Structure 1
Amino acid sequence: MRDPAAPTGTDAEARSREVLRLPAFALFWSASTIRAFGSAIAGVAFQVLIVTVLNATPLEISILSALGVVPYLFLGLIIGALMDRWRRQRALIITSVARAIVLGSIPVLLLLDALTFWSLAAVILTLGILTLFADSAAQPFLPNIVPRGSLVMANARLGQSETVAGTAGPALGGALLNLLGAPFLFAFDAVINAVAAVLQSRITVEEAVPQRRPEGRHIGHDIVEGMRYTYRHRTLRPLALSIHVWFLANSIVSTVFAVFVLRELDLAPWAFGVALAFGGVGGFLGALFAPRLGMRLGAGRAILLGRALAVVPWLALAVMPLDASSGIGVLLPVVSAAQFVFGLSMGIEDANDTGYRQAVAPDAIQGRMNSTIRTVNRVVFFVGALLTGLLVTFMGYQSTLAIAATVFTIAALIVACSPLRTARHEDAADTNPALRS
């Protein structure tokens, strides 16, 4: 259970610099990091299976892609509510073991020549549900093993390792795929999840005993209570609304960026890969600077800085006179810089955003608060991705990027014009009775 006498001021800053020295967090971070690398590596094998082994049609590919999001849309709020009634460490261990079993089934299906579209769809859907359980347990579990003053640093460390995994993992996965084949990659990821379960089981933590639901109260009441808490809270409400708007803008740029760069600007695939790598570098540096910025500026202003920086790259790409004739000498630096700044913005705001949420909300509602924000984000992203196709069709690439920059600006203005702007991590205890001594 979170220490009610969590350190403040200089003590909190000292503890935040030593977060990886906390045995419980070191185990949690290790499990999260190896799982991130395993997922990035296995992601390459999934793409190869879908395209070359199954020879999936475009419709089938879109169905398989949607299956990874579907659990969040239909089960996100329910599982979030359950995480406030269950022991989260146990949920993390069980989902890691289950993921190991499901991933281990893929090499068996390949060896038996029994892998079909429907069997792979079942695997992807099951993994999506298990990932939802893991995500819903991990965010509210972190404040139980990390002091309040260290939450930003803890999220920054997790963000750094995820960025490195997302950048280096696919390249490593491609190399291993050529050397050892897809069955080995899935078996490797299965072993990684088993190791993660062992690491998670070794975490020493005193979780609060989950309260039983009172008689006459069902899970729907828990979900509504979580939504009311999130959207009525003085600082969480603008934070949640800003995140939702940010996800709408991100759905636009995520959908249009690759097509704009590869088709409209005719940038070579290798150059596109270089630009994405710069985004990874920016994300790593942003997460590296996030704790110090959070301490100096406060949570609200650090989040605002990240939101504001997100406007810059997409506005630049929208207004600059770029086309295929500009040449790689101009296009590569511009596109790489855009990705770097966007990655930097995400690294800065994500650790401060998540850390502040975890510090503000009482433990008993952490699961529902996080699942409320996360589920609405997924719905917004899903709708935004569909609308982007219409925007590009009728307005063109750069006009669509200009709209995205405008939406990013709105996300920043929500923070700037709300009480969240002056919020500080060290003041979170004042709004969270669970943190008061």
Structure 2
Amino acid sequence: MREEVTRTGTDAEPRSREVLRVPAFALFWSATTIRAFGSAIAGVAFQVLIVTVLNATPIEISILSALGVVPYLFLGLIVGALMDRWRRQRTLIVTSIGRAIVLGSIPVLLLLDALTFWSLAAVMLTLGILTLFADSAAQPLLPNLVPRGSLVMANARLGQSETVAGTAGPALGGALFTLLGAPILFAFDAVINAVSAVLQSRISVQEAAPQPRPRGRHIGHDIVEGLRYTYRHRTLRPLALSIHIWFLANSIVSTVFAVFVLRELDLAPGAFGVALAFGGVGGFLGALFAPRIGMRLGAGRAILLGRALAIVPWLALAVLPVDASTDLGVLLPVVSAAQFVFGLSMGIEDANDTGYRQAVAPDAIQGRMNSTIRTVNRVVFFLGALLTGLLATFLGYQPTFGVAAIIFTVAALVVAVSPLRSARHEDAAETHA
């Protein structure tokens, strides 16, 4: 039996304490969770495949990595505009089927000994485009599945499962690759995406029909309208600017952290993995407590708390006197604590951040608003990663962490001095009740 949720019903219903009791969201969460595990497993398999099977050069590895981001840079705004006119639910089903087909092609290429750099590049680019469409459809669809007052809880549940997938998935992927081999592993991941499509198809959502475009208007006008709405809105503008600045700082620490820990501190890969696992634990706990924090403090102050916590670990790594000669009993707790606090900060702010903007924006512009923020984030991250090489070369690793801490501080200050600081989830939800 199909589960049906109407848009009118979700806006009028009271706050739900546990969104997994909503059948439509339970199916959506299940589909998203198994797809997240599949992506984490496939990510490890792709890395092993690139290095051990293709024997790719560093330049080829860089190209393959960039292909996952390129669709966001060139198509992000266009796809976001399309998601305000297309059926988002149908898009999610089609993209899951598409991913199943593309992933299923890899075992065939391997068995035929036809996997080359160019064929794998085509696979990576196609998966990147499908992921872009899926991400652009999922965020604006969620307010159709749960009451707007429950969006923080819904995003928290999704964040928890994605954190678990991101933490456990790589280890599981490595083990499965060793036990099953690449062809069976990719076939398994194709099946996961097919199951996700089936679960997604069981939700019948009554999505509002888009308003017809006036004569003389085209998709470019839709994109500009989304940009104007996002950056002229009283609270979305500071929220978007704060996110962009946060992504700049995040690009720096994401690029430098592994090199700093493995090369500068000379920690073993196993110890590095332990530190990353603590980051996953922090993210899970942050997402677990995010709804309660959002209800008690309000959306703006919860986001501000997450932004402020993000400063602490990188400031600590910038000023603490640690190097390769420091005892492992000190180094491992320090880098693990840094990852834990950073994960905690992301878990708290992400659910409140995403839930607030989903609640405050009308359905007709959800796709463009989310894609505007997401696309600019990707551009900022891309440029920040390039900048990081210069910072680390001329300043060193720890001063680079200090620069990142300053940028994280600016991101928090944007929230602190803007109307977003006093924004509350219930106020955003009531505007659409």
TM-score range, shorter chain: over 0.9
Note the 1:11-410 alignment, pairs <5 A: 11-12=14-15, 15=16, 17-410=17-410
Q: Does 1:3 align with 2:4?
A: no
1:214: how far off? 2.3
Alpha-carbon contact 1:289-1:348 (below 8 Å) kept: yes
Distance in 1 (CA, whole Å) between partners of 2:320 and 2:12 is 49
Instruction: Compute the RMSD of aligned alpha carbons.
Output: 1.0
Aligned length: 428
1:204: how far off? 2.3
SS in 2 for 1:324: coil
Deviations 1:124-156 (A, max 9, x none): 000000000000000000000110111000000
SS in 1 for 2:204: coil
1:220: how far off? 0.4
Deviations 1:389-411 (A, max 9, x none): 00011000010000000000000
Deviations 1:273-315 (A, max 9, x none): 0000000000000000000000000000000000000000000
Distance in 1 (CA, whole Å) between partners of 2:55 and 2:427 is 55
4+ residue segments displaced more than 4 Å: none
Alpha-carbon contact 1:87-1:210 (below 8 Å) kept: no
Corresponding letter in the other structure for 2:11: A
Structure 2 CA distance for partners of 1:263 and 1:93, relative to 1, 3 Å: same
1:4: how far off? 6.4
Identity %: 87
Alpha-carbon contact 1:85-1:212 (below 8 Å) kept: no
1:5: how far off? 7.2
Alpha-carbon contact 1:314-1:338 (below 8 Å) kept: yes
Alpha-carbon contact 1:160-1:284 (below 8 Å) kept: yes
1:7: how far off? 5.4
1:3: how far off? 2.9
Distance in 2 (CA, whole Å) between partners of 1:223 and 1:201 is 29
**What is the TM-score when the length of structure 1 is the normalising length?**
0.97
Which segments of 5 or more consecutive residues in structure 2 lack a partner in the other structure? 1-5
Distance in 2 (CA, whole Å) between partners of 1:47 and 1:5 is 42
Distance in 2 (CA, whole Å) between partners of 1:50 and 1:99 is 19
1:83: how far off? 0.2
Corresponding letter in the other structure for 1:355: G
Alpha-carbon contact 1:7-1:149 (below 8 Å) kept: no
Distance in 1 (CA, whole Å) between partners of 2:171 and 2:243 is 30
Distance in 1 (CA, whole Å) between partners of 2:128 and 2:327 is 41
Structure 2 CA distance for partners of 1:426 and 1:131, relative to 1, 3 Å: same
**What is the TM-score when the length of structure 2 is the normalising length?**
0.98
Alpha-carbon contact 1:3-1:147 (below 8 Å) kept: no
Alpha-carbon contact 2:239-2:420 (below 8 Å) kept: yes
Deviations 1:129-187 (A, max 9, x none): 00000000000000001101110000000000000000000111111111110111111
Distance in 2 (CA, whole Å) between partners of 1:173 and 1:263 is 25
1:205: how far off? 1.5
1:209: how far off? 1.4
Distance in 1 (CA, whole Å) between partners of 2:385 and 2:363 is 34
